[in-house]
Amino acid sequence: MTRGVERVVADAVRATLKNPKESIFMAKFAAASRRASARRREAEEKGEHIPAFLIASITSQCNLHCAGCYSRCNNATSDETPVNLLTQDDWNKIFAEANYIGISFILLAGGEPMLRRDVIEAAGNIPDILFPVFTNGTFMNDRYLDLLDEHRNLIPIISLEGDREVTDRRRGDGVYDKLVTAMDRLNGRGIIFGASVTVTAENLNDVLSDRFVSDLSARGCKAVIYVEYVPVEEESIDLAPGDKEREVIEGRISDLRRDYQQMLFISFPGDEKSSGGCVAAGRGFFHINAYGGAEPCPFSPYSDIYVKDTSLKDAIDSVFFRKLRAGGYLLDEHIGGCTLAAKKDEVQRLLQEK
């Protein structure tokens, strides 16, 4: 896992070499990442495991209704005004502890995370942690551009499904044009950004094509995160990549890393192979939902502990997480992009065990 983190950081440094402002920040972050790795190693020697990554869903609200959205299907996102969300002070505490114990990356998600500007501002004040902000790209106004320009540890990751037709079919009419406009505005300000692409059995040839990637590169995109589709409903299971499709994905990403060295490519869960299985449940990362529940991952929304009432270290060492890590639940083959989602019934039973 440490080697994987080092590769991500090295690739990110390379991707910013032609952008002086970003390259200066990334050089500083690379030094901070080495210090964080040292803290994690020290903890490991004491028998304490600290993951390098954390996923934080900072709101349960979203302005879009994307077809097949796992978050809405899991009732983690809704149109109702949320109550009992973690406050900015709660997230300040979480970010500070994460920095102290050696977490290097916190992925901000939702809902739509840009609806919580207060939390994103708090994240911007922790320069030793890199915060990819997974956004639908529809809130990229001048105020946000100024914030992203000032705090280079905030990296917008814009979600899309492919071209205009495919993206609008899933996300709504006109969304593709809005996110392309957002990319162009970010590029115009010299702000590094990336794209998150859900890969299905239907779209993999398009989103892994040179045409698609070169278009993103021309718009200034420096990172592409490919996420295998996780079926949330029985009728959508055929969209999940199978073994044959995964071989195609793995081969194409290898080619893209060779041919587009100015960009960073991450495959999830494809890159887990080098880590010996799923890295959820604190093995490589865990998820904090908008209300403070510590969950194995966003696709497995079950929790036995709340970080508002305890520490990140306690959450990593929770009874539930330890059972998942020790019981072999993270190691088996599965359909779709998440081992635990495919074992939902087993995971729920495990959570209820005393």
Percent of the chain with pLDDT over 70: 90
pLDDT for 144-172, tens place per residue? 999 999 999 999 999 999 999 999 999 99
pLDDT: is 225 or 237 the higher one? 225
pLDDT band with cut points at 50, 70 and 90 for residue 329:
confident
How does strand 53-57 pair with strand 287-288?
Answer: parallel
- pLDDT at residue 275 tops 90: no
- pLDDT at residue 1 tops 90: no
Rounded mean pLDDT of the chain? 89
**Beta carbons within 8 Å of 80's beta carbon, 6+ residues apart:** none
Going 317 to 343 to 112 to 109, the CA torsion angle's sign is positive
pLDDT band with cut points at 50, 70 and 90 for residue 22:
confident
Q: Where are the beta strands (DSSP E) in 95-220?
A: 105-109, 131-135, 154-160, 193-199
Work out the average pLDDT over 296-314: 92
Query: Which pLDDT value is given to residue 154?
Result: 96
Lowest-confidence pick of 16-25, 36-45, 218-227: 16-25
Element (H, E) at 112: none
pLDDT: is 42 or 341 the higher one? 42
SS3 label, residue 351: helix
CA distance 252 to 239: 19
Going 209 to 215 to 217 to 223, the CA torsion angle's sign is negative
- pLDDT at residue 324 tops 70: yes
Alpha helices in 158-203 (DSSP H): 164-171, 175-188
pLDDT band with cut points at 50, 70 and 90 for residue 267:
confident
- pLDDT at residue 217 tops 50: yes
Residue ranges of the domains in the chain? 2-352
pLDDT for 229-262, tens place per residue? 877 677 678 888 888 998 999 999 999 999 998 8
CA distance 348 to 11: 38
Lowest-confidence pick of 2-11, 120-129, 246-255, 282-291: 2-11
pLDDT for 80-109, tens place per residue? 778 899 999 999 999 999 999 999 999 999
Domain 2-352 homologous superfamily, CATH: Aldolase class I (3.20.20.70)
Work out the average pLDDT over 136-147: 97
pLDDT for 177-195, tens place per residue? 999 999 999 999 999 999 9
pLDDT: is 177 or 4 the higher one? 177
Query: Which pLDDT value is given to residue 272?
Result: 58
Query: Which pLDDT value is given to residue 75?
Result: 80
pLDDT: is 346 or 341 the higher one? 346
